[in-house]
Amino acid sequence: MAEKLIKSFPVSWEELHRTSKALAWRLLELGPFKGLIAVTRGGLVPAAIVARELEIRLIDTACISSYNGSERGALDILKPSDIASDGKDWLIVDDLVDTGETARALRTMMPNAHFATVYAKPAGRPLVDTFVTEVSQDTWIFFPWDMEPQPTKPIIGLR
């Protein structure tokens, strides 16, 4: 039985900045927002870019852990947002919605917030209000903070 090929999708700093700015463009007419909740850790960089572009100064975090490296583990809410209440007029920003597990937890905590991600996979996509790029469920996104320049094999050599 052949092992399932996981597709690799590396994202550069420039691409993340450009796509996060595109997310801000999509959110522009939906505001104004009282503030922004950045989902740590992956949502911190996109949230900073969106906050800058929309001139949002009130920023809090929702600290949620569900991965240990590339291994999915149990969802652990390390710190909820205490100032967003039910999320009315608040914007939640994350880098990616994957299985939707984190998104479900955020929706439970802040059901009235607008939830936006840069990237979305099919299993989690229905849980976000706004996203920019959809990738397949079997794609692993390598964010710039996870990468160092190194030689790679051609795609055909990965089969």
CB pairs under 8 A, 24+ apart, for 128-132? Answer: 128/97, 128/103, 130/23, 130/26, 130/27, 130/30, 131/23, 131/97, 132/19, 132/22, 132/23, 132/26
Which residues are marked as active site? 94-95, 98
Residue 81: Cβ within 10 Å count: 22
CB 43 within 8 A of CB 93: yes
Please name the helix (run of DSSP H) or strand (run of DSSP E) that holds residue 34, with its range, or none: none
